[in-house]
Structure 1
Amino acid sequence: MRDIGQDINFLLERASTLASVEQQRSGSVPSAAERKKIDDSVSLLSSALPDIDAEIRRLHALRERVCTQLDISHSVIAPVRRLPVEIISLIFLHICGTTSEAFDKAYMIETTVARVCLSWRTIAWNTPGLWNYISTSDTHTRTYAFPSLAKQAALSGTLPLHIQHLRYHSDDGLPVRLLEELRPHAYRWRSIVIGASCAGFESIPVIDMPNLSDARIELAGPPTSQPLGFLIGASDLRHLTLKINRSREDIHEWNIFQISPFRTLTRLSLLMDDRMAIFLSTILPALSLCSCSLTDLRVDAGKILVADDGTAPSVPIIMTELLVVVLTEGAQVLLGHIAAPRLEELILREQYTQNDTLSLLWAFLSHPAHAGDHRLQRLTLAKTLYANQTLFLPCLERLEALRELRIEGGSQYTLGLITEDMLDQLICAEDQLPLLPNLSKLTLWFARRQLGKRIMVQMRAILRSRDRPRVCASCGVAVLEGIKMILSTPGQALQLFQVRPVLR
């Protein structure tokens, strides 16, 4: 191979004797003969540049080959290649555990570690725990290399399957095709999250889903009579969340909609836009059918309407196992139609509607099914204005087992339910029956700090009188662990204050 370096060095040495930096600085002017020699030198150097550029390109290519080979060699002898397949699978599962959305697992693996090499892709496709969350939603775009739904279900082995489909504006037949493709694995379905129109749900046939325990159904109108009919095959359904979205047709009242019977249900959540309404005749039959199994009921509805003929059950439904009830906005009217003798937590929230919350609560607590000691341990009331506010104290007098009381709301100028009479009765005295003797936590929300300062003396007196277990009028009183004041000023972050008694 011709040594281009020697040729270039010879040309540079000859050129430097004819034209140097020193000559340039001294202002020397070459003669005609000298100019001729310098021109010849310039021509020779210029003609050598293409060879130099070619050599540079050759060396760059050679360097890239060397670097590539180094990477390959380092990869072949890397410690990770000595890891057992089981350890690599665990690492992949750990990577998926860092995502907050379980339905992102498959997409994350497919777009990262499964593209490293054939070996890792094979390991990933043989790790069932990476593939048992199946989603067709817009936020989980499937790439050309992504396995089909049926193949993903097969990759999950025998693990329980979790399915998500939330494409509201797709054609009504898509949920049918999705579930039909996964139907051979229906015995493994553990949870489903599906959002579609009522017509789309109506077209889904009944599927035998013996192990389905959790379903979240998001409906869009117009309503139909049996959009949940396909869930009849879920013989062991435990948790049902039903969300009704406003439709483009702007339908406000769902009067023909029916909830299918689920006798094994332990948790039921019904969520609606605050501008929508559902009929009482839709909800009560569903509650009646699961009255012996339901432990958790959450209803958020703008309005619950009684049918035009005024028919409504006169006898409340006895919910024998119900432990937690959360009623928001218009759903509070359900208090007049259910009884829950084992209830432990009740949360009533209201912002837009105008229910007579305290009258409903009083009627609920006065039901014969609640005779004797109430088991209610946690009560939250969140509302700005109350009618019949004088009923609050009688309600509290019925709640001897109450351990936690949380009062939210009130305007910028009033204390709402927090009256001086109520606070005075919370101060224990030796010869008086105490109000809420088992109270251990009290949380109060205020719109302004000045409102809290107005009752600070009484709150400290309450704490002093309950700073240790005691007996008042033959009634045991528990220790009040503390009073929390939450300041909710518009436009500012919530501020939390802990009320402490003044040392005696």
Structure 2
Amino acid sequence: MDTAPLLEYLAMNEPLLQDLTTRVEEAHRELLQLEVRRQQLIAFLAPARKERDDLRERVQDAHQAIRAPILRLPVEVISEIFIACLPDRPAWYPHKKDTIHVVTHVCRRWRQIALSTPSLWCHFVIVRPSKVQGRIFQSKYLQTMLSRSGNLPLSFSTVFDQHEAASDLLLPTIERWQHVRLYGPVQYARGILNNTPGEFPTLETLVIAPLRRVVPSRLQPTTPFHIIRAPCLRTVLVGQFADHSQLILPWSQLTRLTLRCLIPLSEYPAFLRKCPNLVDCELGIPFRTLPDLPFRPTPVVLQHLQTLVVWFERPFQPLLDSLVLPALRELSFETPDIYGHPPISSPSTLLSRSRCFLQKLSFLSCTTSQDEFLECLALSPALSELSLRGSDLSFAQPFLDSFNHDTPTSAMVPQLASLSITGASPKFCADLSAELFAGMVTNRWTAFTSDASEALASVREEDKGKPLRVFGLTSLSIRSVPADLGREIRTRLYSCRNEGLEVNRPEPQLVWA
């Protein structure tokens, strides 16, 4: 519609109402016609739009179907999966094959998720650099880990040397230390040794140890390692100090302690008396050029100690005679995998004096007399696990007869469930008879399963058909013995294996030097 005449009439300011009304009505009719055409076009396009939307939905569903399930998970779930894949040990090496670096190289989305998850960056190891460029990279790496970890507790291992760049970065984060391992000569860790506040509010584990054996003079710190307040500290490994008076810790709150110090045997009781709440303890007694002076054992009572591991390279019987461990459940003696160490003279005295209910006993690469070994077993009626490695014991008929009794209650160690013999000595293999040994195992298996019919009625429905093991062996392992001997024992225990006894497969022939 041409509106020019209307504008002309309006400009003339003349009352041409009839003409104006006619023209307005014509304009309304044209508008109605245009609206009808628009509605017709919308109706025409509606099926096409619906077809387009349906096609988009099918394409999206097909795209979701071919995507990996991990890509469909929420960010929070993927972050928790990354955290669950971290190694169990508190500190681990930042190698490109490790989980934290693998996930950052998969795709951009995973990298963003990893970088936004502080828990992934709280565990790291600071290795000792060999060159100046290595120290520069180490500082940048440490700064990156500290910034990405946010304010979460830190677990790390570090090797100290004369360069203190790492300690300068770590010291401001002392309030975040949780599991800490310090390796190297302690005199190089001056920043920590001179830490005047001495407060570690989140520290739970502390390891202080050399990288390798060093002479005692290099183990002397110039200042005491003094931790005044560490309310969460429970685990300590000390392998560094030749003078334990330089190590000041809240000993009374520790529950796990490992000592590997080059100190006289007479000083071990003083260490243990300071830790009345120990639950697990490992005593390392390394070789010393100076012989230990004799001392009078005085009782050291540890009411809560359940696990004791003694790793020794020199005699330690006076220390053993001073211990009273009424709650002891696991006892292990171990030496390096070489022969020539003195036998343990009387380990049974510890059991008789403590009156404990020992459940696990191990002699690893160390020996004791046949009578002492039998006495230890006689004093351990609740023993369930027995491990022997490099044993010099003679498993001849007189020894095996002590395990064969008519009734379970009269047998030696009636609750023994696991027997492991590894790296047996030539004497053991020469005295061991496959027929007698398999007969002993069979007799114990039969004796402990013959009266199980009444108890089978009370087991759960899903457990029916499985062998009921209240007492007696459930697993037997004999390794590092001649292959023919291992195969013969396994063959003679065929019926027991069918009933549920676990017996390891024989290994290749062992050649003795």
Q: Name the TM-score class by shorter chain.
A: 0.5 to 0.7
Change (3 A) 1:100 1:384: closer
Confirm whether residue 137 of structure 1 aligns to residue 127 of structure 2. Answer: yes
Query: What secondary structure sits across from 1:303 in the alignment?
Result: coil
Deviation at 1:205, TM superposition (A): 2.0
Q: Which residue of 2 aligns with 1:442?
A: 419
Change (3 A) 1:100 1:465: closer
Change (3 A) 1:129 1:425: same
Query: What secondary structure sits across from 1:426 in the alignment?
Result: coil
Q: Which residue of 2 aligns with 1:392?
A: 373
* Pairing 1:195-274 to 2, within 5 Å after superposition: 195-201=183-189, 204-206=193-195, 207-219=198-210, 221=215, 222-224=218-220, 229-244=225-240, 254=242, 259-261=247-249, 262-271=251-260
Confirm whether residue 327 of structure 1 aligns to residue 310 of structure 2. Answer: yes
* Pairing 1:28-67 to 2, within 5 Å after superposition: none
Give the Cα–Cα distance (whole angstroms) in 1 for the partners of residues 186 and 222 of structure 2: 8
How big is each residue's C-alpha offset from its partner over 1:229-282, in whole Å with a ceiling of 9 and x where there is no partner?
A: 14444343111123359xxxxxxxx4677553422211112347xxxx431244
Q: Which residue of 2 aligns with 1:186?
A: 174
* Pairing 1:465-484 to 2, within 5 Å after superposition: 465-468=447-450, 479-482=471-474, 484=476
Give the Cα–Cα distance (whole angstroms) in 1 for the partners of residues 83 and 484 of structure 2: 35
Give the Cα–Cα distance (whole angstroms) in 1 for the partners of residues 408 and 473 of structure 2: 23
Tell me which amino acid in the other structure corresponds to 2:384: R
Answer yes or no: is the 8 Å Cα contact 1:469–1:478 preserved in 2.
no
Query: What secondary structure sits across from 1:297 in the alignment?
Result: strand
Give the Cα–Cα distance (whole angstroms) in 2 for the partners of residues 111 and 395 of structure 1: 50
Give the Cα–Cα distance (whole angstroms) in 1 for the partners of residues 378 and 367 of structure 2: 21
Answer yes or no: is the 8 Å Cα contact 2:124–2:156 preserved in 1.
yes
Deviation at 1:218, TM superposition (A): 1.6
Confirm whether residue 337 of structure 1 aligns to residue 322 of structure 2. Answer: yes
Change (3 A) 1:467 1:137: same
Tell me which amino acid in the other structure corresponds to 1:242: V
Change (3 A) 1:494 1:383: farther
Give the Cα–Cα distance (whole angstroms) in 2 for the partners of residues 145 and 196 of structure 1: 17
Deviation at 1:377, TM superposition (A): 0.6
Deviation at 1:323, TM superposition (A): 0.8
Query: What secondary structure sits across from 1:287 in the alignment?
Result: helix
Answer yes or no: is the 8 Å Cα contact 1:439–1:479 preserved in 2.
yes
Tell me which amino acid in the other structure corresponds to 1:240: V
Give the Cα–Cα distance (whole angstroms) in 2 for the partners of residues 226 and 139 of structure 1: 24
Q: Structure 1 length normalisation: TM-score?
A: 0.63
How big is each residue's C-alpha offset from its partner over 1:293-338, in whole Å with a ceiling of 9 and x where there is no partner?
A: 21111123333799876444x3221111111111122475432221
Q: CA RMSD in A?
A: 4.5
* Pairing 1:92-491 to 2, within 5 Å after superposition: 94=82, 97=85, 103-104=92-93, 124-138=114-128, 147=140, 149-150=142-143, 152-167=145-160, 170-171=161-162, 174=164, 177-201=165-189, 204-206=193-195, 207-219=198-210, 221=215, 222-224=218-220, 229-244=225-240, 254=242, 259-261=247-249, 262-271=251-260, 277-291=262-276, 293-303=277-287, 310-312=294-296, 314-330=297-313, 332-333=316-317, 334-350=319-335, 351-352=338-339, 354-359=341-346, 361-367=347-353, 369-370=354-355, 374-383=356-365, 385-386=367-368, 388-410=369-391, 416-430=393-407, 433-445=410-422, 446-447=424-425, 451-454=431-434, 455-456=436-437, 457-468=439-450, 479-482=471-474, 484-489=476-481
Answer yes or no: is the 8 Å Cα contact 1:105–1:130 preserved in 2.
no
Tell me which amino acid in the other structure corresponds to 2:278: L
Answer yes or no: is the 8 Å Cα contact 2:396–2:432 preserved in 1.
no
Change (3 A) 1:115 1:345: closer
Deviation at 1:109, TM superposition (A): 8.8
Answer yes or no: is the 8 Å Cα contact 1:483–1:500 preserved in 2.
no
Give the Cα–Cα distance (whole angstroms) in 1 for the partners of residues 127 and 475 of structure 2: 45
Deviation at 1:362, TM superposition (A): 2.0
Deviation at 1:346, TM superposition (A): 0.7
Give the Cα–Cα distance (whole angstroms) in 2 for the partners of residues 309 and 440 of structure 1: 41
Tell me which amino acid in the other structure corresponds to 2:300: I
Query: What secondary structure sits across from 1:357 in the alignment?
Result: coil
Give the Cα–Cα distance (whole angstroms) in 2 for the partners of residues 346 and 396 of structure 1: 12
Bigger strand fraction: 1
Query: What secondary structure sits across from 2:248 in the alignment?
Result: coil
Answer yes or no: is the 8 Å Cα contact 1:427–1:465 preserved in 2.
no
* Pairing 1:8-47 to 2, within 5 Å after superposition: none
Query: What secondary structure sits across from 1:278 in the alignment?
Result: coil
Answer yes or no: is the 8 Å Cα contact 1:279–1:305 preserved in 2.
no
Deviation at 1:357, TM superposition (A): 1.3
Give the Cα–Cα distance (whole angstroms) in 2 for the partners of residues 205 and 318 of structure 1: 34
Query: What secondary structure sits across from 2:151 in the alignment?
Result: coil
Q: Which residue of 2 aligns with 1:54?
A: none
Answer yes or no: is the 8 Å Cα contact 1:242–1:269 preserved in 2.
yes
Change (3 A) 1:161 1:263: same
Change (3 A) 1:151 1:461: closer
Answer yes or no: is the 8 Å Cα contact 2:175–2:201 preserved in 1.
yes
Tell me which amino acid in the other structure corresponds to 2:351: L
Higher mean displacement: 455-464 or 220-229: 220-229
Give the Cα–Cα distance (whole angstroms) in 2 for the partners of residues 118 and 385 of structure 1: 58
Q: Which residue of 2 aligns with 1:11?
A: none
Give the Cα–Cα distance (whole angstroms) in 1 for the partners of residues 313 and 274 of structure 2: 22
**Aligned length in residues:** 389
Deviation at 1:143, TM superposition (A): 7.6
Give the Cα–Cα distance (whole angstroms) in 2 for the partners of residues 458 and 110 of structure 1: 51
Higher mean displacement: 89-98 or 184-193: 89-98
Change (3 A) 1:237 1:495: farther
How big is each residue's C-alpha offset from its partner over 1:362-394, in whole Å with a ceiling of 9 and x where there is no partner?
A: 221232x42xxx3101111234653x4323222
Query: What secondary structure sits across from 1:212 in the alignment?
Result: coil
